Amino acid sequence: MTKSAPLSPFPTLNDVVVKGKRVLVRVDLNVPMENGRITDSTRIERILSNIREISSKGGKVIILSHLGRPKGPERETSLKPVAVALEHELGRIVSFASDCVGEVAKSAVNALRDGDILLLENTRFHAGETKNDPDFVNALAELGDIYVNDAFSTSHRAHASTEGIAHRLPAYAGRTMQLELEMLTSMLAHPNRPMAAIVGGAKVSTKLELLGNLMRRVDYLFIGGGMANTFLAASGKAVGKSLCELQLADVARKILADADATNCQLVLPVDAIVAPRLEPNASVRAVSIDAVGDNDMILDIGPRTIAKVVGILAEARTVVWNGPVGAFEVPPFDTGTVAIAKVAALLTKVHALETIGGGGDTIAALNKANAYHDFTYVSTAGGAFLEWLEGKLLPGVEALRGAKAA
C-alpha cells in the first residue's frame, strides 16, 4: 500500500472492548466452489486477521455468511466445507452449527469460551435473510452482544445479516471492511492525477451508470472487452459477428457525446484480435478497427491498442480497473488483459502509479497476469464495488455510519 488512509468515519474495533463478548461477525464466505471444492480462497484469506484479532482479544467469534442464492436449506450451498477451509487457514478449531438461528445456534454459542470461533450455517437458508425480516433479525441479534460487519462485498444488499442487525446491536466495521472503505475513499475521492479508468467485461448494459459516474471523475476512460463493440458499432464501425448490444447504440452515442463535453478522454480500441469463433488457440488475426470482416469476432484488443493503454498508464498516477479487456478465459485472448495488468503492476511496484482493481472477473484476470499482489489494492467485491464506483450509497455501509457504538 503506497498511501496512508484517513481515519475511518465508522465505529471500528478500536472503539469496543470485545473481551468476554459474543461478537457476531458478518463476513463474505460466498466463495466460488466446484463439486464441493473451493476454487478461489481470496475471500477467506482476507478475513483471517480480523477474526484473529477478535479471538486474541478474548471475544467469542460467531461468524455469519451467505453462500450462493439458495431458496432454502440445501447441501450444495452449505457452509460446512467452508468451515473446514477456515479452520485450515486459521490453524485453529472452528466449530460449526447447522443452523444460524434457533436452538442449534444458541447451544453452539453457549458452548463458546472466550476466544473460540464458531461458523453458523448459511444465513440464506432462511427467507428472512434477504427480506430483512424483523423477526429473523431478532433471532440473529439474540445470539450476540455486538455486531461487526466485515463484508464490504455484501454491503450493497439490505439483508438481515448485513443491514437489519446493525440497527439492533452496537455495530462496528471489521478490519477488512475498514481497510476497504479507507482505500476506496482515499484512492477514489482524492486521487493523484491524472486518473484513468479501465473498464471491460462483456456488456455495457450492466455498466451504464458506472461509465457515467467515472466519466465525471477520471481524466482517461478506456473501454475494452465485449462492451467496447457496442461503442464501436454505435460510431459506425463494422463489428462482424462480435458480441454487441445494438439496442444500446443510442445510449452509447450519448455517452460518447457526454465524454466530449467533459474533460474526460474516452478511448476505444484502435485495433483488435479477431477469430471466426471463441475457442482455444483459434486462428487469429490482428486487424485495424476499420477492417473487421463480416465473419470476424472481436475477442481481444490488438497490439496498437495495448500500446495506447500502456501510454495512458505511463502518464496516469491512479488507475481503477474493472473487467477484462478481452475474452481472457480463453487463450490467446487473454493477451491484452495480461499485458496491461503486467505493466500496471510494474508501474505500481516502482511507485509511479496507484492501482485499484475490483469486480467480478477482475481478480481472476489479475491472478492470471501475476499482478494481483502488486496492485495497490484489490477489492474482493463484485456488485458492491461497482455500486460504490457508481456513487451509490451501500445499505450495509450506511447502517454502520448511523450505528451507535456501545
Tell me the per-residue interface mask from 367 to 386 with Mg ion, x by CB under 5 A, - otherwise.
---------------xx---
Q: Which residue is nearest to ligand 3PG (CB)?
A: 30
Site residues for ligand 3PG, window 67-96 (CB under 6 A)? 69
Q: Which does 157 bind (CB under 5 to 8 A by kind): ligand 3PG, Mg ion, none?
A: ligand 3PG
Q: Which position among 336, 360, 382, 396 bears the catalytic label?
A: 360
Q: Cell 490488438 maps to which residue?
A: 302
**Annotation says 360 is catalytic:** yes
Q: Which position among 43, 175, 237, 368 bears the catalytic label?
A: 43
For residue 211, give every residue at least 6 positions away whose Cβ sits within 8 Å of its Cβ, in sequence order, or none.
199, 204, 221, 223, 255
Minimum distance, C-beta of residue 385 to Mg ion, in the bound complex (Å)? 10
Residue 322 β-bridge partners: 199
The single residue among 10, 12, 25, 28 that binds ligand 3PG, judged by CB under 6 A, is 28
> Do the beta carbons of residue 289 and residue 233 sit within 8 Å?
no
- Residue 383 interacts with ligand 3PG (CB under 6 A)? yes
Minimum distance, C-beta of residue 383 to ligand 3PG, in the bound complex (Å)? 5
- Residue 396 interacts with Mg ion (CB under 5 A)? no
Q: Which residue is nearest to Mg ion (CB)?
A: 383
Q: Which of 81, 136, 69 is nearest to 105 (CA)?
A: 136
Site residues for ligand 3PG, window 124-183 (CB under 6 A)? 153-154, 157
Q: Which position among 131, 168, 203, 254 bears the catalytic label?
A: 203
Active site residues: 43, 203, 360, 383
Where do contacts with ligand 3PG occur on this chain (CB under 6 A)? 28, 30, 69, 153-154, 157, 382-383
